[in-house]
Structure 1
Amino acid sequence: MSGLVDALVIVAVIALVIVRQFRASRVGTDRRWWLLPGVLAVLALREPHLLDTRHPTTAALVFGAEVIVGLAMGAAWAWTTRIWVEPDGAVWSRSTRASVAVWAVGIGLRLGLFGIGTLLGVHQDGSALILALAGTLLVRSGLLIWRAQSLRPAPVSATAYRDGVPRSAWKEPV
């Protein structure tokens, strides 16, 4: 892909993900949560110039740091996401303000890595960023699914007449 297409794909995916994650959404453990990261990884890995051939060792180190930042960002994002269980057993999630901080720090680290790579003369392609973004999404989704599976629904309060129908407690006015 060209640099412009890479940039558009990255911006579109980040915008889609951020907008969706800051709304409450149901966590589906049976869905294909790995599909978007998988598509992004395939798009990134099919590029022939993932690493700079003139500086292979330095390029690999910068690329490895980019992937590690992406994985750490996905884990931090998953742990700063609020999840809860509704009485019907449905698990919901929504990113928090701490998640915004995770994104800001992650973007700052990635810009720093890009600057370091540029100073070292490493040609950096958008494919590395797309692959790191795929890792971020994969780790975040996997950890959220894992956290959601460990939650249990809130216990149903005792029923008044043992008939299985919960009733609200009635208070006599004083």
Structure 2
Amino acid sequence: MSGFLDALVIAAVVVLVIVRQFRASRIAADRRWWVLPGILAVTALREPGLLDARHPATSALMLGSELIVALVMGAAWAWTTRVWVEADGSVWSKGTKAGVAVWFAGIATRLGLFGLGALMGVHQHSSTLMLGLAGTLLVRSGLLVLRAQSLHGTLPAQATAYGDRVSLAAWKERV
């Protein structure tokens, strides 16, 4: 894909994920939660130019840093997501205001890494961002499924999670 098309895909996925984050959604542990991150990762890895040919070591270090930021951001985002059990035993999740802070911190860190790479003369391809987004989504989804499995079968009064005092939205979306 071209850089412009990569940017459009990244922007569309980020907007979709952020909008859906603030709606209550059912967590289905048996569904294929890894498909979207997998598609993004395969798309990113197929692109030439993931590493800068003129600065391979520095480029690999920058890519590794991006992936570490992505994994930490995914874990923090999963931790700040409110998870609860309904009376019927289904597990639901909803993003919190702390999740917005995680996104801003992640974006600021990624912009800092991009700026640092630009100062060092390393060409960074949009597939690096796409791979980082795939890592973020994979870690977040995986941790939410693990949290859902640990809460499955508990009574609603026993299901404590971060953000329990957050009011529930009337609208629920099935995932």
TM-score class, shorter-chain normalisation, is: 0.7 to 0.9
Aligned-partner Cα distance in 2 for 1:154–1:117: 50
| SS at 2:69 equivalent | helix
CA contact (8 A) 2:37 2:138 kept: yes
Instruction: Give 1:143's aligned residue.
Output: 143
CA shift digits 1:54-75 (9 cap, x unpaired): 0001101111000000000000
| SS at 2:77 equivalent | helix
How far residue 153 of structure 1 moved from its aligned partner, in angstroms, is: 2.9
Q: Given the superposition, is the C-alpha separation of residues 155 and 146 from structure 1 closer, same or farther in structure 2, using an over 3 Å criterion?
A: closer
| SS at 2:23 equivalent | coil
Aligned-partner Cα distance in 1 for 2:140–2:43: 20
Q: Given the superposition, is the C-alpha separation of residues 155 and 79 from structure 1 closer, same or farther in structure 2, using an over 3 Å criterion?
A: closer
Instruction: Give 1:63's aligned residue.
Output: 63
| SS at 1:51 equivalent | coil
Percent identity between the two aligned chains: 71
CA shift digits 1:127-171 (9 cap, x unpaired): 010001000000000000000100133179xxxxxxxxxxxxxxx
Q: Which amino acid aligns with 1:64?
A: G
Q: Which has the larger radius of gyration?
A: 1
CA contact (8 A) 2:84 2:156 kept: no
- Runs of 4 or more, structure 1, over 2 Å off, are none
Instruction: Give 1:101's aligned residue.
Output: 101
Aligned-partner Cα distance in 1 for 2:49–2:154: 48
Give me the TM-score of the superposition, normalised by structure 2. Answer: 0.87
Counterparts of residues 2-151 of structure 1 (less than 5 Å) = 2-151=2-151
Q: Given the superposition, is the C-alpha separation of residues 155 and 59 from structure 1 closer, same or farther in structure 2, using an over 3 Å criterion?
A: closer
CA contact (8 A) 2:85 2:156 kept: no
Count of matched residue pairs: 156
Instruction: Give 1:163's aligned residue.
Output: none
How far residue 3 of structure 1 moved from its aligned partner, in angstroms, is: 1.3
Aligned-partner Cα distance in 2 for 1:93–1:35: 19
Aligned-partner Cα distance in 1 for 2:144–2:48: 33
Q: Which amino acid aligns with 1:121?
A: G
Q: Which amino acid aligns with 1:83?
A: V
**More relative contact order, 1 or 2 (CA 8 Å, 6+ apart):** 2
RMSD of Structure 2 on Structure 1 (CA): 1.1
Structure 2 gaps, min length 5: 158-175
Structure 1 gaps, min length 5: 157-174
Q: Which amino acid aligns with 1:128?
A: T
Instruction: Give 2:160's aligned residue.
Output: none
CA contact (8 A) 1:27 1:91 kept: yes
